[in-house]
Structure 1
Amino acid sequence: MPAGPVRTRDEVVTALRDSAGVGMGYVPLGAAFGILLVTSGLEWWWAPIFSVVIYAGSMEFLAISLVTGGVGLAQVAATTFFVNFRHVFYGLSFPLLKVRSPIGRLYGVHALTDEAYALLATRPHAQLTGPQVLATQILCHLYWLTGSTLGALLGAGVGLDVEGLGFALTALFVVLTIDAYRSAPDVGTLVLALGCAALALAFVPGGMLVAALTAFLFVLLGRYTLRRRRVA
């Protein structure tokens, strides 16, 4: 077998191994989303459509209430912007440049989720390849699509309850954060991040995430500038 296909296969296997933990969280949470969707009055086939077109866990849950509540496009756009605002910061350190295909990069932007970022951005970029990055994102997308579709079908068929399953995504991201810290421990950055989050929660509780990420960005830029001046 040619070296190229063998290497690509190995990269896909690596992506499958690395993303298995995400799948264990995505499938049940996606199922919860699918069940909630059909119990809200939508047909089951909306679940795969939402999961392919929107593919943003928290926004998909919100989209159910927005769609069923008849909210206007302006409010939908504003809600989407604030809910997914954190992705602006993700793009600063996500290894998207490893992907050479323009179509692949477009998909990479679309499939940039919290979990994909946690899996890939914390790795040394020199050790990553374009196929591995894309394979990881595609697998994560498939996990979510599978869970949401199965959940919608089950919800439509037997009327399952979703109470308590919504915490699965939070728990998953906490685990990924701990794992990322273990792979590259940085107490200073962790303390700064927690400090920004605490201050944002205290002073801007309604927009905590946006305020915390913005403050953290400026803190990191300030720290970087100070280090450059000391070196110079």
Structure 2
Amino acid sequence: MKRKALKAAFPLTLPVMAGYLFLGLGFGILLASKGFSFLWAAFMSIIIYAGSMQYVAIDLLAAGASFITTAIMTVMIQIRHLFYGLSLIVKYKNVGKKKWMMIYELTDETYSLIATSEPPEGVDAGWFYFFISLLDHSYWICGCTLGALFGSLVKFNTKGVDFVMTALFLVLFVNQWLDTREHRPALIGVGCSILCLIFFGADNFIVPAMLSILAILSIFRKTLDKEEEKHADS
């Protein structure tokens, strides 16, 4: 059962593997450029496991930021995961004790895969989603650790390295757009984000955007589900 679920989950995680290895390399290189050991990269990728927050944490560590500052910054950056969790309640409902690990390993990319993927016939859903989460986390750990090792051995200009995170989000968005025929959820997300960016500014738009996206998708959920079923049957 587990092997079958792993075999079904692995191909879906390949785009994330490509992105996480390069994104993790970027993080590890930047961390090493601040004088931190590769062990810090491995430790942070296991304990924190948050791409955007880990990048911010580099400067926080280098500046000796206080615990309170770090905690507030973490909440502000990662609060979007609250909305991810709300939308996965049904999928995580009957997965047993694996749920706690899956909640911990939920990232933007993992959420993207789990929210849009269904286990093949005969594959246990709990193990299927668990292995998606576990595989993605393992890619991140490997990328961060290898990047820090490489960065400690080779010195070069790291300007622009952190752009790989933005590139990864774009690749995942395009990949989902090509894989689905129902584009209204994506358009709703883009539209709400742009409007909130205009009205609230670059520093404050994420939470209002998430709330508006969640509200609109919740209101039109049944309609969108019916349209998706029609596309799947056609």
Structure 1 equivalent of residue 196 of structure 2: 200
Aligned residues of 1:112 and 1:137 also touching (Cα < 8 A)? yes
Structure 1 equivalent of residue 67 of structure 2: 73
**What's the C-alpha RMSD, in Å, of the aligned pairs?**
2.3
In the alignment, the residues of structure 1 paired with residue 23 and residue 221 of structure 2 have an alpha-carbon distance, to the nearest angstrom, of 38
Structure 2 equivalent of residue 230 of structure 1: none
In the superposition, relative to structure 1, how do residues 187 and 157 fare at CA in structure 2: closer, same or farther (>3 Å)?
A: closer
In the alignment, the residues of structure 2 paired with residue 13 and residue 224 of structure 1 have an alpha-carbon distance, to the nearest angstrom, of 31
In the alignment, the residues of structure 2 paired with residue 148 and residue 93 of structure 1 have an alpha-carbon distance, to the nearest angstrom, of 29
Q: What's the CA shift for 1:100? A: 1.4
- Residue identity matched to 1:38: A
In the superposition, relative to structure 1, how do residues 98 and 161 fare at CA in structure 2: closer, same or farther (>3 Å)?
A: farther
27, 30, 36: which one aligns with 2:24: 30
**1:140-189, CA deviations, whole angstroms, 9 ceiling, x for partnerless residues?**
11111101111111111122443333222222222222333444433443
Q: What's the CA shift for 1:199? A: 1.3
**1:76-128, CA deviations, whole angstroms, 9 ceiling, x for partnerless residues?**
11110110011011112223225212xx2211111100110111111247866
In the superposition, relative to structure 1, how do residues 213 and 158 fare at CA in structure 2: closer, same or farther (>3 Å)?
A: same
Structure 2 equivalent of residue 146 of structure 1: 142
Q: What's the CA shift for 1:40? A: 0.9
In the superposition, relative to structure 1, how do residues 185 and 207 fare at CA in structure 2: closer, same or farther (>3 Å)?
A: farther
Does the alignment pair 1:220 with 2:214?
A: no
Q: What's the CA shift for 1:208? A: 1.5
| 3-state SS in 2 of match to 1:121 | helix
Aligned residues: 219
Normalising by structure 1, we get a TM-score of: 0.85
User: Which residues of 2 match residues 93-108 of structure 1 at below 5 A?
Assistant: 93-94=87-88, 95-101=91-97, 104-108=98-102
Aligned residues of 2:26 and 2:147 also touching (Cα < 8 A)? yes
In the superposition, relative to structure 1, how do residues 74 and 192 fare at CA in structure 2: closer, same or farther (>3 Å)?
A: same
Normalising by structure 2, we get a TM-score of: 0.84
189, 207, 211: which one aligns with 1:210: 207
Does the alignment pair 1:41 with 2:38?
A: no
| 3-state SS in 1 of match to 2:204 | helix
Structure 1 equivalent of residue 107 of structure 2: 113
Structure 2 equivalent of residue 179 of structure 1: 175
Stretch deviating more after TM superposition (160-169 or 46-55): 160-169
In the superposition, relative to structure 1, how do residues 190 and 150 fare at CA in structure 2: closer, same or farther (>3 Å)?
A: closer
Structure 2 equivalent of residue 4 of structure 1: none
Query: Which ranges of structure 1 fall in alignment gaps of 5 or more residues?
Result: 1-6, 228-232
Q: What's the CA shift for 1:200? A: 0.8
Query: Which ranges of structure 2 fall in alignment gaps of 5 or more residues?
Result: 225-234
- Residue identity matched to 1:87: H
| 3-state SS in 2 of match to 1:99 | coil
Percent identity at matched positions?
34
Structure 1 equivalent of residue 160 of structure 2: 164
